Structure 1
Amino acid sequence: MAKGTIRLADVAKAAGVSQGTASNVFSRPDVVREEVREHVLETAKRLGYAGPSLTGRLLRAGKVNAIGVAAVEPLAYFFDDPWARALLAAVSQVCDASGTGLALVSAKDRQKLDWNIKSALVDGFILLCVEGGEKLVQLTRERQLPFVALALNDDDPSIASISVDNLGGAAIAARHLAELGHRRFGVLATELSDDHVGPVGIAEIERAIYSTSRDRALGYWQALEAFGIRREDVPIYETINDKPSVEAGLELLFSVPEPPTAILAMSDNIALLAINWLRARGLSVPQDVSVIGFDGVPEGGMVEPGLTTMAQPFAEIARRAVKAVLEDAVPTEREMIEVTLVVRGSTAPPR
């Protein structure tokens, strides 16, 4: 008999015991006499039977005590992107405290993502919806497991989500710089629409398909208008949150006779890339140019100067998200959490 085809019934028959007794040897060994237990185990070893399927047992129980964290990205995204890394660390801490397992579910390809979500052995999902959120929501709904979306780029109220106050947080960031005395600004935006990198105007912002980026731009504008700065006078460059597109945006923003004295970056990753670019061009931060980010990732506090940013409460977001999935307490409406201005050395009054 091939080892892969050995079943519990085969072990019971070979050992001369009932299937119930054989099952108890593996699942409830304390109720089986020692000599019988040892005989069944020896028989199982001889036949090459390793024990009942843990997967099958968990599925029959209806709970696996594990959460899936999903994204429409390659697996490396969870470790390369500062925001995803910080959020995953916070979720991991919450799961550790409750003894809950964690599974990373990702794929850029739709077919692979479909398979990964459908085959994941989890009780529910936390969806990182920075990009491709609609795909994640659709596939997860088909699994009929509880889920909660984070950083959802969609205004659909029927999707259970936990998000931060992007509009209010962006307004605080812009106000901070304006109160320092800055009047010339440049915005480095996260994605507003698919397959586009480059300068965008008011119309592109207003019809953006990604609400996170749109709301942050609107927040900047609202705060700056109170200081007499028109929307038309705030250049915005759409990036894809990576080094080439961020550097292309900076090249454009600083190619004019009167370049910005302050950069509003829609992510800490963009802000940190901007600081490196400015330094390489001989520009001092914050003496020549102030830079403010958005997220509050740990890396922002490790650079010199430290990055001023709008910090998301990662621990609170993680706590709510894990509770929503494990306790089947998915929010019935969109939950919004405030962000906090963290002032460090990357912002100062202009020269």
Structure 2
Amino acid sequence: MAKGTIRLADVARAAGVSQGTASNVFSRPDVVREEVREHVLETAKRLGYAGPSLTGRLLRAGKVNAIGVAAVEPLAYFFDDPWARALLAAVSQVCDANGTGLALVSAKDRQKLDWNIRSALVDGFILLCVEGGEKLVQLTRERQLPFVALALNDDDPSIASISVDNLGGAAAAARHLAELGHRRFAVLATELSHDHVGPVGVDEIRQAIYSTSRDRALGYWQALEAFGIRRQDVPIYETINDKASVEAGLELLFSAPEPPTALLAMSDNIALLAINWLRARGLSVPHDISVIGFDGVPEGGMVEPGLTTMAQPFAEIAQRAVRAILDDAVPGERETIGVTLIVRGSTAAPRQ
């Protein structure tokens, strides 16, 4: 017999024992006499049988005690992006505490992502829906496993999701800077629509595909209007949350006759890139310009000056998401969690 075709029944037959006894040798060895166990194992080794399929056993049991974290990105995204890295660390801690495995499911290519989600040996998925959320939701629904979407850029109430208060958090960020005395603002935005980088106006914000970015812009405007600052007087530059697009936005914003004294960044990653750019050009943060981020990633507390930010409760988000999968208690409606203003050294009153 070819080694690849050996089954448990073949081992039992060759060893002269029942299939039940052979099965116990591999799954419950303590109930089989030692001489019988050794005889069956020797027979299995001679035939080239490595043991029952772990995958098959787990699937038959109905639970594999593992959770998949999925994103429409290359695998490096989980390690390169500060927000994804912080969230993954929080999810990992909850999984460790529960003795639960973790699988990263990711691919930029639709066909590969489809295969990765269909073949992942998990009990459910946590979806990082920063980009391509509709693809993730569709593929995961087809798998018919429980899932929870995070950072969902979709207002569909039928999708189980846990989100942060983007509107209220952004309003608090803008209010903090306005109360310090700033009146010249600019926004470096995360993606509003597909494949666009550059200045955007009021209409583009209203028509934005991605609700996270739209709501943060609306929150900024809401707070600033209370200080007499019109939304059309706050330039917004759409980035793709990377170094090249952030620096292009800064070049444009700081070429204006009256550049901003306060920069509202829709992610900590954007804010940290901006601080590096400003420092390289001899501009002092916060004395020449104040910068505030959004996320609360650990890196924000490690730079000099420390980054003022709206911090997401990563531990709480992770706990809710993991327990929803493990307890088969996926929320029936969208859940929203508040964010917290953390004031550090990157914001101060403007120069007089």
Q: Under a length normalisation based on structure 2, what TM-score does the superposition of the two structures give?
A: 0.99
Match of 1:111 in 2: 111
Residue 162 of structure 2 aligns to a residue whose secondary structure is strand
Distance 2:3 2:345 in 1: 64
SS in 1 for 2:276: helix
Deviations along 1:83-137, whole A, 9 cap, x unmatched?
0000000000000001100000011111111100000000000000000000000
1:36 paired with 2:39, answer no
SS at match of 2:237: strand
Instruction: Please give the root-mean-square deviation of Cα atoms over the aligned residues, in Å.
Output: 0.5
Matches within 5 A, 1:15-30: 15-30=15-30
Once the two structures are TM-superposed, the CA of residue 257 in structure 1 deviates from its matched residue by 1.1
* Other-structure match for 1:75: 75
Taking the aligned partners of 2:148 and 2:307, their CA distance within structure 1 comes to: 30
Report SS of the residue matched to 1:176: helix
Cα distance in 1 for partners of 2:322, 2:128 equals: 13
DSSP 3-state at the match of 1:344: coil
Q: Tell me, in whole angstroms, the C-alpha distance in 1 between the residues paired with 2:147 and 2:11.
A: 40
**Rounded Cα–Cα distance in structure 2 between residues aligned with 1:2 and 1:102:** 35
**Structure 1 residue 2 displacement after superposition:** 2.2
Deviations 1:185-219 (A, max 9, x none): 11000000001000000000000000000000000
SS at the partner of 2:167?
Answer: helix
Which consecutive segments of 4 or more residues in structure 1 shift more than 2 A? none
Q: Displacement, 1:4?
A: 1.6
Query: What is the rounded CA distance, in whole Å, between the counterparts of 1:232 and 1:66 in structure 2?
Result: 48
SS of the residue corresponding to residue 9 of structure 1 reads helix
Superposition deviation, residue 47 in structure 1: 1.3
The percent of aligned pairs where both chains have the same amino acid is: 93
Aligned residues: 351
Q: How far is the alpha carbon of 1:305 from its aligned partner?
A: 0.3
What is the deviation of 1:45? 1.2
Deviation at 1:180, TM superposition (A): 0.3
The gaps in structure 1 that reach 5 residues or longer are none
1:102 aligned counterpart, secondary structure: strand
Determine helix, strand or coil for the equivalent of 1:251. helix
Q: Distance in 2 between matches of 1:348 and 1:239?
A: 25
Cα deviation for residue 303 of structure 1 reads: 0.3
Q: CA deviation at 1:59?
A: 0.2
| 3-state SS in 1 of match to 2:191 | coil
Deviations 1:133-189 (A, max 9, x none): 000000000000000000000000000000000000000000000000000011000
| 1:51-94 deviation line (CA, Å, top 9, x unaligned) | 10000000000000000000000010000000000000000000
Structure-2 separation of matches of 1:40 and 1:256:
81
- Helix, strand or coil at the partner of 1:288: coil
Runs (5+) with no aligned partner, structure 2: none
Q: Deviation per CA, 1:263-289: give whole Å up to 9, x if none.
A: 000000000000000001100000001
Q: Which residue of 2 aligns with 1:161?
A: 161
